[in-house]
Every structure is written in structure tokens, then in C-alpha cells.
């Protein structure tokens, strides 16, 4: 069983409201989550000796989360990841979003779901946060009712996302926690062994938008192709062999992106002369719970396994961290000091008709779950 305790975390400036902290505790995990951005601020996991360490990057006080910082632990929405040039069309109407990461819109805009106060409700084994995103917020169409629920079951943190829309709108929700299984003050994640269960990934251009032109029919299976979604697609395949369209889905076989067997991250980046990962990996074709990734830290024995109902995971290795932010207990966070496994739809899906559908329409419900399972080996 899990216990839940509630406390004040801080006050927003100018009478903006009280931010609360909810501590979820089981025999194996302790998780702190605040109502500002549904943010995971701490996550304590035991090592093989039974010693607990906090394995997520973040801040001890509210002020840290109100400054410019890279979405530590927060829920991202209305659309996680990038939308090319901040524009998209829904049913023939064009929408324009704030360009907050030149030249694209990133993580919901200037004031995304990570920068708002949510309404909490305590559950027996967790906490549910809700809010209504008004029509036109950050340029997105329609009112969106959103619920994010965190529950604890032994060594497993379960995050469920639900949403309902008043008009057709793209929706893509995720959590942006940065993990370091050696402990959040450790200088890098080079000694972490990573496995990602993906046969394909999305190559990106210099602005991290999925790119490439692939002639003929796809050579690799698409997530939505394996599901009975043809009825929801407004148009059948009209491209014959030789046609060209954007959004390449590339096989990982023989590339640096083949993480189907464990790789030691630091050595792997060095061997392939990579700056790091910030890429979407295309997961198995199922809306049911499926295995996504496993990360093992041999020195401590800690293991994180991720399962999800989502079609993709953005694997990010903290390439933009630069050591300027002061975290918990005086920690600094240099490049590659944390990793993210952001389970989500594919980036720029609203502009890529061959990607899994991202539009939520009135009468439908967005409902996705991700499981973070911690253990020792």
C-alpha cells in the first residue's frame, strides 16, 4: 500500500495561488509531486544495499521551477515536442502558435501545461490533477479538459493522462522527468546501460523536426498501420510507388540508434561520435501496455523499466544542460547529467499525415498511461 501526505510547497508571486506538494510513499519508492505543472520534484529509490537516493533532477524550492529551466519533472502539453514553424491545419483552418524554440513551437508554447497551477485531488494511493485549458490557449483550438493521475504501486509509479476536447485539437501529453540512477547530484549518465524496444526511429533536421523524403512505399511498418484506424483516416493511401512524402521512418538496424540490446551510454556516444540523443523512437504497434525501455545502473544496481500505451518515446540525454542551474542540495546539472524517456506521440505529427493520429475530436477521449517500474539487479 502507498501513503499520501499533503503540504504547502510555496506561494506563487502576485497572489497567484498556493502550490502544494504531495508525497507518495510505498515500501520501495517515495515520490514528491507539486501542483505547479504536475511536476515530479523528487523520486527516492533504494540501491542494492538498501540505501535510498533521489534519482530525478530538480529544485528544493518553488523559485527554482519559476525560473527559466528545462521542464524538470513537469507534465508537457497541450502538445509535447516540436511543431514545425508553429503552424498546423485542422479541417482546413490554419493555426499559429508561439515560436518559443526557433523556428518551431516546443512543448505547448510560452506558457504550456508545465507553467500553470493545477487543481489536486488526493486518492488512496496517489493524486489526480485537473485543469481546463481554455479555447485559444497558446493558439490551440477548443477548450480541453485534462486530468493527470499519479499512483504508486510498490516499485511502480503509474502516470495516466486523460483529456476531452470541445473541438478538434492536437493533444500529446508526457512527463519530462530527468533521471540519473546514480543519484541526482551525479555528474553524468555515461555508466548507464540503455535498452529501447524500437525497430525504427525518426531522423530529424537541424531544428529537430522529423525530416527526409522517402520514395515508394514505406520500407518499415508504421504504428498506425498495424491498428484498425483506417476508418478514422479521412483519406486512404493515394500515393503509388515512386511518390514522395515527408517524414522518414528509418530502421535502427546498423545505426547508432539500434538500442534493442543494452549499450553503455557514454561509450556508445563516443563510438558513434554523437553529441547525445534527442530523438523519437517508434514503439511497437499496440494501444495496450507494451515494453518501451530499460535503463540499468550497474554500480548501484538500480533499474528503471518503462512501459506505455503510447506509440513513441523521445529519448533525450540532457544535451542542453550546461551546469548553470543550481539544483537540490547544491547539485549542478552539466551536459549529460540526466536522461528523459518521454513517452508520447511522434513529433510534428499534426503536420505529418503518415504519423499516428494526434487530433482529438469532440466525443472522443484521450487516454494514455505510462508505467515507471523501479527495481534492483
Determine contact, residues 195/261, Cβ cutoff 8 Å: yes
As a dihedral over the C-alpha atoms of residue 185, residue 191, residue 195, residue 201, rounded to 10 degrees, the angle is: 80
pLDDT for the residue 284:
83
Burial of 228 (0-12, 13-18, 19+ CB in 10 A): exposed
Determine contact, residues 97/89, Cβ cutoff 8 Å: no
Cell numbers representing residue 287 in the block: 494501444
pLDDT for the residue 287:
85
Calpha distance 70→3 (Å, rounded): 30
Asked if 290 is an active-site residue, the reply is no
pLDDT for the residue 245:
44
pLDDT for the residue 289:
95
The pLDDT tens digits for 302-313 are 999 999 999 999
The pLDDT tens digits for 232-266 are 332 222 233 333 345 789 999 999 999 999 999 99
pLDDT for the residue 220:
35
pLDDT for the residue 103:
94
How many CB atoms neighbour CB 47 within 10 A?
A: 18
Calpha distance 157→304 (Å, rounded): 11
pLDDT for the residue 246:
59
Calpha distance 281→185 (Å, rounded): 28
pLDDT for the residue 243:
31
Catalytic site residue from 44, 193, 248, 342: 342
Cell numbers representing residue 272 in the block: 558513434
Calpha distance 321→333 (Å, rounded): 6
Cell 483506417 belongs to residue: 230
Asked if 176 is an active-site residue, the reply is yes
The pLDDT tens digits for 312-336 are 999 999 999 999 999 999 999 999 9
Q: Is the pTM of this model over 0.85?
A: yes
pLDDT for the residue 249:
94
pLDDT for the residue 285:
73
The pLDDT tens digits for 62-102 are 999 999 999 999 999 999 999 999 999 999 999 999 999 89
Catalytic site residue from 176, 192, 268, 297: 176
pLDDT for the residue 229:
33
Nearest by Cα to 59 from 333, 373, 337: 333
Output the tens digit of pLDDT for each of the chain's 377 residues.
899 999 999 999 999 999 999 999 999 999 999 999 999 999 999 999 999 999 999 999 999 999 999 999 999 999 999 999 999 999 999 999 999 989 999 999 999 999 999 999 999 999 999 999 999 999 999 999 999 999 999 999 999 999 999 999 999 999 999 999 999 999 999 999 999 999 999 999 999 999 853 322 233 334 334 333 322 332 222 233 333 345 789 999 999 999 999 999 999 999 999 999 999 999 987 789 999 999 999 999 999 999 999 999 999 999 999 999 999 999 999 999 999 999 999 999 999 999 999 999 999 999 999 999 999 99
pLDDT for the residue 1:
83
Amino acid at each position: 500500500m502507498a501513503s499520501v501526505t499533503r503540504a504547502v510547497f510555496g506561494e506563487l508571486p502576485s497572489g497567484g495561488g498556493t502550490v502544494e506538494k504531495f508525497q507518495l510513499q510505498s515500501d520501495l519508492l517515495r515520490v514528491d509531486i507539486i501542483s505547479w505543472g504536475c511536476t515530479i520534484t523528487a523520486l527516492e529509490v533504494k540501491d542494492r544495499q538498501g540505501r535510498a537516493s533521489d534519482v530525478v533532477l530538480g529544485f528544493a524550492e518553488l523559485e527554482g521551477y519559476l525560473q527559466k529551466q528545462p521542464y524538470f519533472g513537469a507534465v508537457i502539453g497541450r502538445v509535447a515536442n516540436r511543431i514545425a514553424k508553429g503552424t498546423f491545419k485542422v479541417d482546413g483552418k490554419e493555426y499559429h502558435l508561439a515560436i518559443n524554440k526557433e523556428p518551431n513551437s516546443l512543448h505547448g508554447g510560452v506558457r504550456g501545461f508545465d507553467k500553470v497551477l493545477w487543481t489536486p485531488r488526493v486518492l488512496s494511493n496517489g493524486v489526480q490533477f485537473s485543469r481546463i485549458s481554455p479555447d485559444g490557449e497558446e493558439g490551440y483550438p477548443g477548450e480541453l479538459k485534462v486530468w493527470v493521475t499519479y499512483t504508486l504501486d510498490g516499485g511502480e509509479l503509474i502516470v495516466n493522462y486523460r483529456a476531452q476536447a470541445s473541438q478538434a485539437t492536437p493533444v500529446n501529453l508526457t512527463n519530462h522527468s530527468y533521471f540519473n540512477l546514480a543519484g541526482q547530484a551525479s555528474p553524468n549518465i555515461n555508466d548507464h546501460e540503455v535498452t529501447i524496444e524500437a525497430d525504427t526511429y525518426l531522423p530529424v533536421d537541424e531544428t529537430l523536426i522529423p525530416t527526409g523524403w522517402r520514395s515508394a512505399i514505406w520500407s518499415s511498418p508504421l504504428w498506425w498501420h498495424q491498428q484498425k484506424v483506417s476508418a478514422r483516416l479521412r483519406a486512404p493511401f493515394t500515393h503509388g510507388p515512386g511518390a514522395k512524402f515527408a517524414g522518414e521512418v528509418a530502421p535502427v538496424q546498423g545505426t547508432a540508434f539500434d538500442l534493442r540490446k543494452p549499450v553503455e551510454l557514454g561509450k556508445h556516444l563516443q563510438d558513434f561520435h554523437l553529441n547525445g540523443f534527442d530523438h523519437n523512437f517508434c514503439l511497437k504497434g499496440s494501444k495496450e501496455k507494451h515494453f518501451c525501455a530499460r535503463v540499468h545502473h550497474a554500480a548501484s544496481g538500480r533499474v528503471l523499466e518503462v512501459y506505455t500505451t503510447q506509440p513513441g518515446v523521445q529519448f533525450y540525454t540532457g544535451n542542453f544542460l550546461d551546469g548553470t542551474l543550481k539544483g537540490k542540495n547544491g547539485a549542478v546539472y552539466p551536459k549529460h547529467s540526466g536522461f528523459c524517456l518521454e513517452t508520447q506521440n511522434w513529433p510534428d505529427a499534426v503536420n505529418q499525415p503518415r504519423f499516428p493520429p494526434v487530433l482529438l475530436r469532440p466525443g472522443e477521449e484521450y487516454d494514455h498511461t505510462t508505467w515507471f517500474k523501479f527495481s534492483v539487479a
